[in-house]
């Protein structure tokens, strides 16, 4: 466990320099700070709130110079305090390191640092000089001892990491402030380019992303989060014709040896993302998809009123084939081929990007998959998309339906049922509205469209007659104190049972991996939750076989699946190039930052004018609930400019100083 020699973070100072090493107190937050990578001790950590030093021989002055040099390089140049000030600081610190200046310039450096912090227009400038100010104020004597002692052969090395709260919250680590900056400047092509560095499904994500980034947006401390998702959709829709000309095999600078071919199992978001990044690196890629269309749950699970398939999803998936990838449909692993077959055919690596198409059951009396009028949520959505929308076949769902569940799949089911002509749609959820895992916007949309919500209700029995669903028996629940998972427990209220008549019951309480595709010879193991077991690099127990997405994480989101696909592609690239997965500095920095954030507070110091986010236009609820037409309408260019201006550009610079 790393021991703090001296530090100042978030206004809290620790000074153990005069103590013997074994007397230096430990802090459990720093249990992961001994080494940056194996054999490379961490000497110090620098960030937006100050710094921590773990080595008595650490050269603070040299580290401050390196830190501010990165800040100067990252300055966008739009305001002079940050653009000019950071360069002046860099020059002054270099003079101190080489002995060209003495301690008398420290007061000038402090004044400049404070001026940059107080007058810069964005988060980078407002936080980049905090380490310098705090070092001079609290540890001036340490800096003075190190003046003129810089050497050409440095004994410490800095790894810097530039990020923002929204970037860290995004599973794919999309540089959100950067693509918003380009929108501010009217450079829409540049903006979509930033997003496409991470995944090909930009317009899809701009419609169905659950917005982890917006939950972390610091603008919420002023008024409302920046409309990050709607800006992504705006630029993806606006540039859709430009990107048509971008993707071809000519985009790939250097092709790999044709023998290094990779098989991707599953053309869902994880598989598409993995194939995309592997193709861009020059690998030949074949995707094997069990269904007749690509897209996974994005294609068969997300309704058209949220994601138009033909003009959006299919077009973005076609990027794979433009890059030279091949998608083989109606090819089911475990039926049409095995892992052994793939390796015998010369594939050097395999990625398993299988979705969760098997719905969970409630396991209550009367429940039976063979019942007429009973279906799981994912299967219900698949039937609607495939048979009703794609093939035009009629579906008789009766007049009254009950959907059990509280997630986004349940929301898609109730809203789709209304569009299928069901007159009365009930949603049953065992907790309260506040505990629902579904996207709040989806819940509000369902309410507007007339879905009847039955909160704090637990199914106890399915009522049947002659093999057909007739209704559902429920018991009312009450909320208790949170359990070990921090969710409030629920307990039944005695004597509170009631029934709801229904022609159709849809159970949308979760999905699991259908493991029938695996055999004992595959060498793939499952964890206690029934998901595929992988290491931190997404490699399974079988060498050369990687897995990611829902089959590894359990039910997750489109953006999480795409992030897993990119991570797997990086690991496969390393594996095929070096025979092992290399250490990733950026991943380690993000890991260390997650520890530091536990002891950090956040605020917005500069006054900002309240400017609420753009209001999205929608179809009238009474009209849209009869159609599968897209509900949300695009914003205008003027609205995009205004919304982009709300971004506070909350970049932060973090640095780890190591021995080598």
User: What single DSSP character describes residue 617?
Assistant: P
Residue 610 pLDDT = 83
Instruction: Please give the helix or strand (H or E) that residue 409 lies within, else none.
Output: helix 408-419
Residue 31 pLDDT = 86
Residue 424 pLDDT = 97
For 250-348+517-582, the fitting CATH number among 3.40.50.720, 3.50.50.60, 3.50.30.60, 3.40.50.300 is 3.50.50.60
Residue 27 pLDDT = 65
Q: Return the domain boundaries, the chain.
A: 6-166+650-658, 250-348+517-582, 359-511
d(CA 165, CA 176): 10
Q: Which residue is it, tokens 């973070």?
A: 9
Q: What is the value of pTM for the model shown? A: 0.93
Whether 378 contacts 416, CB under 8 Å = no
User: What single DSSP character describes residue 26?
Assistant: B
Is 250-348+517-582's fold the same as 359-511's? yes
Closest of 42, 89, 165 to residue 655, by C-alpha: 42
Residue 25 pLDDT = 56
Residue 448 pLDDT = 96
Q: What would the 3-class secondary structure string for 492-554 be? A: EEEEEEEEEECCEEEECCCEECCHHHCCHHHCCCECCCCCECCCCCCECCCCCEEECCHHHHC
Rounded alpha-carbon distances, angstroms, from residue 252 to 8, 97, 190, 388: 47, 44, 19, 40
Quote the strand ranges of 308-454, DSSP E: 326-328, 349-352, 358-359, 374-376, 400-404, 424-428, 452-454
Residue 341 pLDDT = 96
For the chain, residues with pLDDT lower than 70 are: 20-27, 151-154, 604-607
d(CA 289, CA 273): 14
pLDDT digits 0-9 by tens, 379-432? 999 889 877 777 777 788 999 999 999 999 999 999 999 999 999 999 999 999
User: What single DSSP character describes residue 323?
Assistant: T
pLDDT digits 0-9 by tens, 556-567? 999 999 999 999
Residue 514 pLDDT = 83
The two tokens of residue 140 are 């001036």
Instruction: Please give the helix or strand (H or E) that residue 660 lies within, else none.
Output: none
Residue 189 pLDDT = 95
The two tokens of residue 335 are 């039926």
CATH top-level class of 6-166+650-658: mainly alpha
For 359-511, the fitting CATH number among 3.50.50.60, 3.30.465.10, 3.20.20.150, 1.10.10.10 is 3.50.50.60
């Amino acid at each position: 466990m790393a021991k703090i020699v001296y530090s100042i973070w978030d206004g809290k100072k620790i000074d153990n320099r005069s103590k013997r090493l074994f007397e230096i107190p430990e802090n459990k937050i720093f249990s992961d700070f001994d080494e940056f990578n194996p054999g490379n001790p961490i000497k110090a950590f620098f960030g937006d709130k100050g710094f921590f030093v773990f080595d008595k021989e650490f050269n603070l002055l040299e580290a401050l110079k390196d830190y501010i040099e990165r800040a100067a390089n990252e300055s966008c140049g739009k305001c002079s305090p940050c653009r000019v000030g950071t360069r002046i600081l860099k020059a002054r610190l270099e003079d101190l390191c080489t002995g060209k200046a003495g301690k008398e310039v420290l007061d000038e450096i402090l004044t400049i640092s404070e001026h940059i912090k107080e007058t810069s227009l964005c988060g980078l400038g407002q936080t980049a000089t905090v380490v310098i100010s705090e070092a001079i104020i609290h540890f001036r004597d340490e800096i003075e001892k190190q003046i003129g002692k810089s050497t050409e052969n440095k004994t410490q090395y800095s790894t810097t990491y530039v990020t923002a709260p929204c970037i860290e919250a995004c599973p794919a680590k999309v540089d959100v402030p950067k693509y918003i900056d380009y929108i501010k400047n009217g450079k829409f092509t540049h903006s979509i380019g930033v997003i496409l560095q991470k995944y090909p499904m930009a317009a899809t994500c701009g419609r169905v992303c659950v917005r982890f980034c917006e939950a972390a947006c610091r603008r919420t401390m002023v008024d409302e989060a920046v409309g990050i998702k709607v800006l992504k959709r705006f630029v993806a829709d606006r540039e859709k014709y430009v990107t048509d000309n971008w993707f071809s095999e000519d985009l790939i600078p250097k092709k790999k040896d044709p023998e290094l071919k990779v098989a991707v199992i599953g053309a869902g978001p994880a598989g598409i993302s993995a194939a995309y990044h592997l193709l861009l690196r020059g690998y030949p890629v074949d995707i094997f998809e069990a269904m007749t269309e690509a897209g996974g749950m994005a294609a068969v699970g997300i309704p058209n009123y949220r994601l138009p398939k033909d003009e959006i999803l299919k077009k973005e998936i076609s990027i794979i084939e433009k890059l030279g990838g091949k998608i083989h449909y109606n090819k089911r692993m475990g039926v049409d081929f095995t892992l052994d077959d793939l390796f015998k055919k010369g594939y050097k690596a395999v990625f398993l990007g299988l979705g969760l198409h098997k719905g969970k059951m409630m396991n209550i009396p009367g429940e039976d998959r063979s019942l007429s009028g009973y279906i799981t949520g994912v299967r219900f959505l698949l039937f609607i998309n495939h048979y009703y929308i794609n093939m035009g076949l009629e579906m008789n769902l009766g007049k009254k339906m009950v959907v059990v569940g509280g997630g986004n799949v349940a929301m898609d089911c109730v809203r789709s049922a209304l569009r299928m002509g069901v007159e009365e749609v009930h949603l049953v959820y065992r907790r309260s509205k506040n505990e629902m895992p579904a996207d709040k916007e989806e819940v509000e949309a369902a309410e507007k469209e007339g879905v009847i919500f039955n909160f704090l209700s637990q199914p106890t029995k399915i009522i049947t007659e002659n093999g057909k669903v007739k209704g559902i028996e429920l018991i009312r629940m009450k909320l208790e104190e949170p359990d070990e998972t921090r969710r409030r427990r629920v307990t039944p209220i005695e004597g509170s049972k009631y029934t709801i008549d229904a022609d159709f019951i849809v159970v949308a309480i979760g999905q699991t991996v259908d493991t029938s595709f695996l055999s004992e010879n595959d060498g793939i193991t499952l964890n206690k939750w029934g998901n595929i077991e992988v290491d931190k690099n997404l490699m399974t127990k079988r060498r050369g076989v990687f897995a990611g997405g829902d089959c590894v994480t359990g039910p997750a989101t489109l953006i999480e699946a795409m992030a897993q696909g990119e991570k797997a592609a990086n690991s496969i690239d390393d594996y095929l190039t070096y025979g092992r997965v290399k250490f990733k500095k950026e991943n380690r920095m993000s890991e260390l930052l997650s520890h530091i954030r536990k002891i950090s507070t956040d605020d917005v110091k500069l006054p900002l004018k309240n400017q609420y986010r753009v209001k999205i236009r929608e179809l009238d609820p009474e009209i849209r609930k009869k159609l599968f037409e897209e509900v949300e309408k695009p914003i205008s260019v003027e609205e995009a400019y205004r919304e982009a201006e709300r971004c506070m550009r909350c970049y932060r610079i973090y640095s780890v100083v190591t021995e080598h």
